[in-house]
Amino acid sequence: MLGIETSCDETGVALLRWQPEAPGEGLLAHTLYSQIKLHADYGGVVPELASRDHVRKLLPLVRETLAEAGLTPADLGGVAYTAGPGLAGALLVGASAARAMAWALGVPAIGVHHMEGHLLAPLLEADPPEPPFVALLVSGGHSMLVEVAGIGQYRILGDTLDDAAGEAFDKTAKLMGLPYPGGPALAALAGQGRPGAFRFSRPMTDRPGLDFSFSGLKTQVLLAWQASDQSEQTRADIALAFEEAIVDTLVIKCRRALEASGAHRLVIAGGVGANHRLRAELAAAGDKDGFRTYFPRLAFCTDNGAMIALAGAIRLAHGQHQDATVQVFPRWDLESLPPAS
């Protein structure tokens, strides 16, 4: 299975030989090209530039990945690609290339939901989780809690109402003058902060419910930064307080979701899942509450082709694929997916 990811600013390609009992052992090769340098001057992703760069990089990455695995296009049994959600132009690059390759080779192709790819990424690890479980998906503009009864059997328990966690990290970093991409820079700076120097609210944890809202937290940080001496130490102190607020909020909501669903397994996926404080706090909460947390390896927290190859392989194994129409879904409801288990 060839997996192609082009939903935003990273071009990912992977090759996976489907092994139902141990999916991760079937990963043959994966490559990733990041557009960080391309977008750094603009402080964020420019969709047209992202699309054009995918056009330049995708086919060379496919050739590189095939060579790394010692395979040729004739060895492919299927092609999976991200069909949404994401930037329309970027999605079309991957979808067009995938559909063309599948048609030329006479193999099936399948469009994969980007967030399902993230949700299934921990299955690539040596000790994968088994449904039922609760998943916290924190990727780009998404922060959602999902009850997973089986693959393709999803119920959204909570979703973002405005800024998602990843967006809040990036926007807060930008307003404090940190370089792009802001999230990792802010998290690194937080390690130099003094505990207790600042404190921000834990949004929407003072009421029932599992939805997220981080736009107000971003405003709190802006006001605190503008009223401060704007020294390097203050910047680090605010970064720490902000990170603590985000992590505490996510942990509180995860514990509530597990209690509401009765599940004892928690999957964390998406770029924010690479945050070390979040990992440590969830591990501590799991020890206290009796649940187990599953993370993908750091390389598979961010966008990648391996998770798309896996999701596509699972669905093709259940006889699901689409016709040759090139179609993408910049917005795509996760709950609308058919079951595959």
pLDDT digits (tens, 9 = 90+) for 68-77: 999 999 999 9
Taking residues 38-67, what's their average pLDDT?
Answer: 96
Structure tokens at 232: 């390097």
Tell me the two tokens of residue 299.
Answer: 């390389």
Two structure tokens written together for 59: 């086919």
**What pLDDT sits at residue 43?**
87
Looking at residues 232-237, what average pLDDT do you find? 97
Please report the pLDDT score of residue 337 as a whole number.
97
Per-residue pLDDT at 139 exceeds 90: no
Q: What is the mean pLDDT of residues 244-248?
A: 98
Asked if residues 294 and 268 have their Cβ atoms less than 8 Å apart, the reply is yes
Average pLDDT of span 29-35: 98
The answer to whether 183 is annotated as binding is yes
For helices 165-175 and 232-261, what crossing angle results, to 10°? 170
The pLDDT value recorded for residue 141 is 87
Assess whether pLDDT exceeds 70 at residue 99. Answer: yes
303 is annotated as contributing to ligand binding: yes
Confidence of residue 140 (pLDDT cuts 50, 70, 90): confident
Average pLDDT, the chain: 96
**Looking at the whole model, is its pTM more than 0.75?**
yes
Taking residues 259-263, what's their average pLDDT? 97
* pLDDT of 21 above 90: no
- Residue pair 289/263 in contact by the 8 Å Cβ criterion: no
- Across the range 291-300, mean pLDDT stands at 96
Say if residue 334 carries a ligand binding annotation: no
Q: Is residue 282 a contact partner of residue 295, using CB atoms and an 8 Å limit? A: no
Beta-carbon contacts of residue 63 (< 8 Å; ≥ 6 apart): none
275 annotated as a binding-site residue:
yes
pLDDT surpasses 70 at 164:
yes
**pLDDT at 143 > cutoff 80:** yes
Alpha helices (H) along 41-176: 47-69, 88-105, 114-120, 165-175
Which amino acid appears at position 195 of this protein?
P
Q: Is there a binding annotation on residue 318?
A: no
In which band, very low, low, confident or very high, does the pLDDT at 321 lie, cut at 50, 70 and 90?
Answer: confident
321 is in an annotated binding site: no
Residue 341: pLDDT above 80? no
Q: Is 140 assigned a ligand-binding role in the annotation? A: yes
Is 333 known to sit in a ligand binding site? no
Q: What mean pLDDT do residues 39-50 have?
A: 94
- For the segment 195-223, the average pLDDT, to the nearest whole number, is 96
